[in-house]
Amino acid sequence: LNRHFFSPASSGRSVRCAPVVEMITKFVTEITAKFNPFSACAKPARLFLTFLPPNARANGTSITTTLLPRNSTEASSLKVKFKDGKELNFDCGKMNIKGLVEEVNRHSRQLQKAADLTD
């Protein structure tokens, strides 16, 4: 999905915009992010947190972030727990944001199917 939009501020050049990614957070109960904000490999963890809806905590999701010191050699990590008890652990140095969202959505869709069948 490559989309180009004309922007008057870009002097007639087309501007490439990233597609909007939606994450299914209905079945997520806990998120734990640990990253060094100055490290490039922390980008997927930081972006993942920005994809969460503003009312995530109000809806019962526990969100814990741990900022590592600038000189830390510990890898960035992300843990996501779901209502069915499954826990996904991600090494943010080896995955990009698209991969993280796809994995979370994959399990959320399975839980959505199960919920639809029981209703």
- Dump pLDDT digits (tens) for 60-103: 999 999 999 999 999 999 999 999 999 999 999 999 999 999 99
Q: Are 104 and 50 in contact (CB under 8 A)?
A: no
Look at residue 1 in the predicted model and tell me its pLDDT: 45
Residue 18 zone, left/alpha/beta (φ > 0; ψ -120 to 50; rest): beta
Domain ranges for the chain: 24-118
- Name, in order, each residue with C-beta under 8 angstroms of 53's C-beta and a sequence gap of 6 or more: 25, 59
CATH topology of domain 24-118: Glutaredoxin (3.40.30)
pLDDT-derived band at 7 (thresholds 50, 70, 90) equals very low
Total-model pTM:
0.79
3-state secondary structure 42-77: HHHHHHHHHCCCCCCCCCCCEEEEEECCCCCCCCCE
